[in-house]
């Protein structure tokens, strides 16, 4: 059975350029912190990779701090900036990824910050009036504002330019989790005006276990890890040369081809949504149709459990994801959909199809062909359970 993979928002296959670049370095020896020839070669490779990433993202090489991925980069930004600034409040949207929400909760539980989560509208766009109100109530008490560039579930793009403008009036730094955005839409660090930006390798065709926090050199960040003083003394730890080379190749390639990639995915997404709604007219599209990631199609299927749909599609070789998360084995309704005003039942009836660089029209057509019968079976199962 052929597998149709439509879960690129979770991870996407590595690009050939990234595999080639990483494979070449895996056979070499050298710690970039060593002073001998092998170490100097490894350091040169790392710094060239840093420069390639900086050029692709519109930042200075010295602003790229390598991490183990998006979660560490988010933690470093939130905790490191909060600790360095020492003020009371951090503001964030209610629909952030748990890599942001959980560190914020930790800051609250540890007594080192007060956190205010700001609401969104039914399309998943940040309530800017709420942000203005929260800032202007006491701007001197705000350490940081964190708003994701694009939502990982419904794909809604956030008004980062407006957030930066509001923050700039009071000298408040802005962090954005751009894990889903880089390579899918235009991301320019300097042009955006943000002070810190998170990205990771495996979402853009690079390897797992490597990412970066792009952070302005002028912004003080307290490190989470202490040791060798690598990465501007912000992130100690032996530098993973092969992973960084693969990461740089993926960033460079995904940004270089971003415009054509976006156009192709938008066309595939339109085909997918139209086909699904043709087969299941009651299906409802979640998210902002005007401001969204090109490859995200997040739909609600009334009368169905998303988990049932997921497993029925998986049995047909179609891989996607639900709009819910599982914590300790207990299914929970998506906090994103609940924040957008969905009921618990509505939130549990959603699926996310996310397209990527390997997606084809045949993949889309396979979903369209399967979705009608799958929805019928899921509804029948739900009716038996009294849902």
With 70 as the cut, is the pLDDT of residue 382 above it? Answer: no
% of residues, the chain, pLDDT over 70: 96
Q: pLDDT digit string (tens) for 49-105?
A: 999 999 999 999 999 999 999 999 999 999 999 999 987 899 999 999 999 999 999
With 60 as the cut, is the pLDDT of residue 328 above it? Answer: no
Beta bridge partners of 91: 116, 145
With 90 as the cut, is the pLDDT of residue 331 above it? Answer: no
**Distance (Å, rounded) from C-alpha 384 to C-alpha 26?**
54
To the nearest whole number, what is the mean pLDDT of the chain?
95
Average pLDDT of the residues in 325-342: 77
Q: What pTM value is reported for the model?
A: 0.95
What is the predicted pLDDT for the residue at 86? 86
What is the predicted pLDDT for the residue at 385? 64
With 50 as the cut, is the pLDDT of residue 249 above it? Answer: yes
Query: Could you tell me which residues come within 8 angstroms of residue 373 by beta carbon, excluding any fewer than 6 positions away?
Result: none
Known catalytic residue at 320: no
What is the predicted pLDDT for the residue at 176? 98
Q: Two tokens at 177? A: 């989790």
Decide the pairing of beta strands 321-322 and 350-354: antiparallel
Domains of the chain: 4-12+258-384 (3.90.1150.10), 16-256 (3.40.640.10)
Q: pLDDT digit string (tens) for 299-323?
A: 999 999 999 999 999 999 999 998 6
Q: How confident is the model at residue 386 (pLDDT cuts 50, 70, 90)?
A: low
What is the predicted pLDDT for the residue at 188? 98
Q: pLDDT digit string (tens) for 128-172?
A: 999 999 999 999 999 999 999 999 999 999 999 999 999 999 999
% of residues, the chain, pLDDT over 90: 94
Residue with tokens 């749909």: 309
97-135 residues labelled b (16+ CB within 10 A) or e (exposed)? bebbbebbeebeeeeebbbbbbebeebbbbeeebbeebb
What is the predicted pLDDT for the residue at 1? 76
What is the predicted pLDDT for the residue at 298? 98
Q: pLDDT digit string (tens) for 285-296?
A: 999 999 999 999
Nearest Cα to Cα of residue 205 among 45, 56, 48, 28: 56
Q: Two tokens at 278? A: 């043709």
């Amino acid at each position: 059975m052929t597998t149709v993979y439509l879960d690129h928002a979770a991870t996407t296959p590595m690009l050939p350029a990234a595999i080639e670049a990483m494979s070449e370095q895996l056979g070499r020896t050298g710690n970039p912190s060593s002073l001998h020839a092998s170490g100097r070669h490894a350091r040169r490779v790392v710094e060239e990779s840093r420069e390639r990433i900086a050029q692709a993202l519109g930042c200075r090489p010295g602003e790229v701090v390598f991490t183990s991925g998006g979660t560490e980069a988010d933690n470093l930004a939130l905790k490191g900036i909060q600790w360095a600034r020492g003020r009371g409040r951090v503001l964030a949207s209610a629909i952030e990824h748990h890599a942001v929400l959980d560190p914020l909760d930790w800051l609250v539980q540890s007594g080192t910050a007060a956190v205010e989560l700001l609401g969104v509208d039914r399309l998943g766009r940040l309530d800017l009036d709420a942000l203005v109100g929260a800032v202007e109530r006491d701007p001197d008490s705000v350490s940081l504002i964190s708003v994701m560039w694009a939502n990982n579930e419904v794909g809604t793009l956030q008004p980062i330019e407006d957030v930066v403008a509001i923050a700039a009036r009071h000298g408040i730094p802005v962090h954005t989790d751009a894990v889903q955005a880089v390579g899918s839409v235009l991301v320019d660090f300097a042009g955006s005006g943000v002070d810190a930006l998170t990205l990771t390798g495996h979402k853009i065709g690079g390897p797992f276990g490597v990412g970066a926090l792009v952070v302005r050199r002028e912004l003080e960040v307290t490190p989470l890890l202490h040791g060798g003083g690598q990465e501007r003394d912000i992130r100690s730890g032996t530098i993973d040369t092969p992973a960084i080379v693969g990461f740089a190749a993926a960033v460079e390639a995904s940004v270089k081809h971003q415009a054509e990639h976006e156009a192709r995915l938008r066309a595939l997404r339109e085909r997918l949504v139209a086909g699904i709604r043709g087969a299941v007219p009651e299906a409802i599209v979640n998210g902002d149709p005007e401001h969204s990631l090109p490859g995200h199609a997040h739909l609600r299927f009334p009368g169905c459990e998303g988990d049932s749909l997921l497993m029925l599609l998986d049995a047909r070789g179609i891989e996607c994801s639900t709009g819910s998360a599982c914590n300790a084995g207990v299914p929970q309704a998506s906090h994103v959909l609940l924040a957008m005003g969905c009921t618990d039942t509505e939130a549990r009836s959603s699926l996310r199809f996310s397209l990527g660089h390997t997606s084809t029209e045949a993949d889309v057509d396979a979903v369209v062909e399967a979705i009608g019968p799958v929805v019928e079976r899921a509804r029948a199962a739900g009716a038996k359970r009294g849902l």
